[in-house]
Amino acid sequence: MANDFFSMMEKLQSMLDSEDVEILTNDGRSIRGKIDNLRSTQPFSKPAVKILGPDGKVAKILFSDIKEMIDHAKK
């Protein structure tokens, strides 16, 4: 997976309407749910995505931790 910021933003933005996105991280975690928020423009913050899980909990994943992104709704 390319760690290029703009490629990552473009791919995540295309998944914003999906209810079933899965993010695999470099440390082996798998987070599945709906994209709740993309944070990319706040000063002094690292680019991150927030995923709202089926249990109602929000997980924040830094772009630098993302290994793969899958939109299960498009399969």
pLDDT tens figures, 29-74: 999 999 988 766 566 778 889 999 989 999 999 999 999 999 998 7
pTM of the predicted structure, to 2 decimals: 0.82
Q: Are 64 and 38 in contact (CB under 8 A)?
A: no
Better-scored residue on pLDDT, 1 or 15: 15
Least reliable range by pLDDT among 6-10, 11-15, 35-39:
35-39
Angle at 50 between CA 44 and CA 53, to 5 degrees: 160
Does CATH place domain 5-74 in 2.30.30.100? yes
Angle at 12 between CA 64 and CA 71, to 5 degrees: 110
What is the predicted pLDDT for the residue at 9?
87
What is the predicted pLDDT for the residue at 68?
94
Based on its alpha-carbon atoms, the radius of gyration of the chain, rounded to whole angstroms, reads: 11
What is the predicted pLDDT for the residue at 39?
67
